[in-house]
Structure 1
Amino acid sequence: MTDRILIVEDEREIAEILTLYVENAGFAVARATSYQEAVRQHAQFAPDLVLLDIGLPGGDGLDVLSSVRRRVDTPVIMVTAVDDEVTKLSSLRIGADDYVVKPFNPSEVVERIRAVLRRTRGGRLRRLFAAGPVEIDLDARTASCGPAENRQRLPLTPSEFGILAHLAAHPRRAFSRAELLEAISPDSDAYDRVVDSHVSNLRQKLMMAGCPDIIEPVRGIGYRLWAER
C-alpha cells in the first residue's frame, strides 16, 4: 500500500521540488501552505508522515506539530530554514521525529522519510482493529461491519469515517460532540451540533449493513459505541 506524505510548505518552488522527488519515490502526496490548511489536510488525508515547515502563514509549524501530537502519533519531519538549537530542541521536545535544515538535498529528504517510517512503524498504534462487528482500517481509510466472515464495506464520508474510527478505538466510552468534532476537524469553526448530522447518517449506513444501534446517544454528553451489539 502506498504511503501518504503531507508536505506543509508555503514556498511554492520548494514545495514543488519536494513533491516531485517524493512522488517519484513512490509516495502519494498532499500539500498545504498554511497552518489552517495543514491541520485540515492532516485530518482529511490521514498521512503516514508529515514534512513540516516552521514559518507558515496563519500560524507556526510548531503549532501544527502540537495539534498533530494532541491527537495521533503521525511521524513528523521538520524541514525549515531555522537552524538554531533552541528551535530544534523545541521541535524534538514537542514530538518531531527528525529535523532537516534548508537548503537540503531532496534525495536526502526522501531517504529521511524512509528511515523515519522504518523507525516509527514498530512502535506506532495498530492501524487495523475491530470493535465487535466493526472493523477499521486506518491505512486504507475503510470501515466494514458485520460478522467477521462476511463484513460489508461501509460507504462513509471522511467525517463519518473519522467519527466511527474514534468511537471504535474506545468502545463504551462516551464522547462529547466537541471531542468528536476535534477528532474529525481540528480547529474547525463548525458548531458541535454538526456532529449530530454526521452520526445520523452514519447510524443509517450501519443499520443498512446489518449493524443497527451500535452507536447510541448519551444524554447530556454525546455518543458512544457498544461493541457487543
Structure 2
Amino acid sequence: MEITLDRPKVNAIHTGVSNELGEIFKEFNDDDSLRVAIITGGGDKFFSVGWDLKAGEAVDANHGPGGFAGLTEMHHLHKPVIAAVNGLAVGGGFELALACDLIIATDHAEFFLPETTIGIIPDSGGVLHLPKRLPRAIALEMMYTGMRLSAERAYHFGLVNKIVPLEKLLDEAWMLAKKIVESAPLSIAAVKEVLKHTEHQSIEEGYRTMRSDALTFYPKMLKSNDANEGMASFAENRNPIWKGN
C-alpha cells in the first residue's frame, strides 16, 4: 500500500487527517493481501510539517485511536511501514517517520522537532523514540533547541536506511518493500512482536518473554505451515510460496 500525504503546501496534519490516516492504516493492518505500507509526502519540499497550527485545534486534540497521523499510537500494527521522506520532516511529521519501521530519505531531507520553541513538547512519540534511535546528546539537543538533522547525519547515526535523489525515492522504497515481501509474513510479524515486547528488557528477560505465553505471532509462526514451507523450499532449491498461516 502506498500512501501519499498531499496537502499543499506543507502537508500539515489536523485531527481529520489523523483520523483518515488511522482508517487507512487499520485497513492495511486488517487486509492479509497487504504486506508493506509506504508513506510519503506530496511535492518535493515537505514530507510533513506535522501539526496544522492554522487549524485552530487545541494542543490536546483527539487525533483518533491511531494517535497523531493515524500511526504514532497504533501499537498493535504487525506489518512494516516505510517512510519515504521527500523533504522536510518537521515536528509531528518527523514523529510520523519515527513511527515507521524504516526510513528512506532524499538527499535534501531534514529532520527536526521545534516543539519546545513554541511552548510544547514532541509528545506524539518524538520524546520517546528519539533518545532510543539517536545518541542521547544529539536527541536532547534536537528537542531542546529545534536543531535540524540533515539526511546525511541521520544516515550516519543509523536513523535513515538509505539516501537517494528525489526522483529515485519511491522506486527505492518499492524495492525495499518487495524485498520484505520475499520473507514470510508471520516471520515479519513475529520479529515486530518480539522487538516490541523485549526492547526494554535484558537478553535474559527477552528469552523468558519469548518462551512465555505473552506473545501471539511468535508461537503461531513456530507452528505455521509457512515454517514448513520455508524449510521444504530451501531443501528443494525453489522459491517459497507463503500462505501466512
TM-score interval (norm. to shorter): 0.3 to 0.5
**Structure with greater strand percent:** 1
TM-score normalised by L of structure 2: 0.34
